[in-house]
């Protein structure tokens, strides 16, 4: 197995007072030529937004943008008429395609919102902008890898316009999940919270790991609660 660890404390940072952001890959003013993404996975940002604050209207194009809220609530509005609030347990996918304007705000005036925003390059440019949001319960993820995003939207997952599968899992201490890796594919594992054991390597909150040249992996929880994202990507 080839495992390359990207420690949490080596991520890029941006702190604007209202926003504290950590960048797993090059983003904004953070540039590292060795961290430009992993396969078609281009961005994993861990954002904490203060109450009542947020990102004003701004544009995107030709990108699959996935939001996963860990704590609090995130209000989303866009130029194709969608408006919603994303809460823990929900996954939102927005395909920017030919171009979309949107805003994201902390929906609470009292509590901070903590979320992950993920960008995946689409398999083709010029797609029709679209949007999708689904709920995945804790029971679906506890001790199991729950598919939450996929190219074909199978198993009730949101549809990603790329040959990419995204899984979420919740692991208690001693719980373990296993995943088979098909030929020609690699994994990126991102720990959203807690601690896990990946082979003989301990990963903690904010750590990422690139995994290649392996047929399967096992991830074991070694804290009371761990939340982990697993990206299964074509090479």
- Phi first, then psi, for residue 213 (nearest 5°) are 55, 45
- Phi first, then psi, for residue 109 (nearest 5°) are -95, 0
Could you give the number of structural domains in the chain? 1
- Going by DSSP bridges, is the β-strand pair 226-234/185-193 parallel, antiparallel, or unpaired? antiparallel
Which residues of the chain are under the pLDDT cut of 50?
none
Helix (H) or strand (E) holding 78: strand 74-78
Helix (H) or strand (E) holding 139: helix 138-141
CB 226 within 8 A of CB 171: yes
Distance CA(213)–CA(209), nearest Å, equals: 13
- Going by DSSP bridges, is the β-strand pair 226-234/164-171 parallel, antiparallel, or unpaired? antiparallel
Dihedral of CA atoms 216, 148, 194, 68 in degrees, nearest 10, equals 140
Distance CA(214)–CA(24), nearest Å, equals: 23
Q: Residue 117 belongs to a domain with what CATH number?
A: 2.60.120.10
Which of 93, 147, 142 has the alpha carbon at shortest distance from 122? 93
| CB crowding 63-88: b at 16 or more within 10 Å, else e | bbbbbbbbebbbbbebeeebeeebeb
Residue 124 exposed, middle or buried by CB count within 10 Å (0-12, 13-18, 19+): exposed
pLDDT for position 209:
97
pLDDT for position 84:
87
pLDDT for position 58:
87
pLDDT for position 1:
60
Q: What is the pLDDT of residues 66-112, one digit of tens each?
A: 999 999 999 988 777 778 899 999 999 999 999 999 899 999 999 99
Residue range of the domain that includes 181 = 2-234
Sign of the torsion angle spanned by Cα atoms 22, 230, 123, 116: negative
pLDDT for position 102:
85
């Amino acid at each position: 197995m080839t495992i390359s660890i990207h420690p949490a404390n080596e991520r890029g940072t941006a702190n604007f007072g209202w926003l504290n952001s950590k960048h797993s890959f090059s983003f904004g003013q953070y540039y590292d030529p060795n961290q430009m993404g992993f396969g078609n996975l281009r961005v994993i940002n861990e954002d904490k937004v203060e109450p009542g604050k947020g990102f004003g209207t701004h544009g995107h194009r030709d990108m699959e943008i996935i939001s996963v809220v860990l704590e609090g609530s995130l209000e989303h509005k866009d130029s194709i008429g969608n408006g919603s609030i994303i809460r823990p347990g929900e996954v939102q996918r927005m395909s920017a395609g030919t171009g979309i304007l949107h805003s994201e705000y902390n929906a609470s005036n009292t509590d901070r919102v903590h979320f992950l925003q993920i960008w995946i390059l689409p398999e083709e440019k010029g797609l029709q902008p679209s949007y999708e949001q689904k709920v995945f319960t804790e029971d679906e993820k506890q001790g199991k890898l729950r598919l939450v995003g996929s190219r074909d939207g199978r198993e009730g997952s949101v549809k990603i316009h790329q040959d990419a599968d995204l899984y979420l899992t919740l692991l208690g201490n001693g719980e373990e999940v296993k995943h088979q890796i098909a030929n020609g594919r690699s994994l990126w594992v991102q720990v959203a919270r807690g601690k896990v054991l990946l082979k003989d390597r301990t990963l903690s909150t904010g750590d990422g790991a690139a995994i290649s040249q392996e047929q399967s992996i096992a991830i074991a929880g070694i804290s009371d609660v761990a939340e982990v994202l697993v990206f299964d990507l074509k090479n």
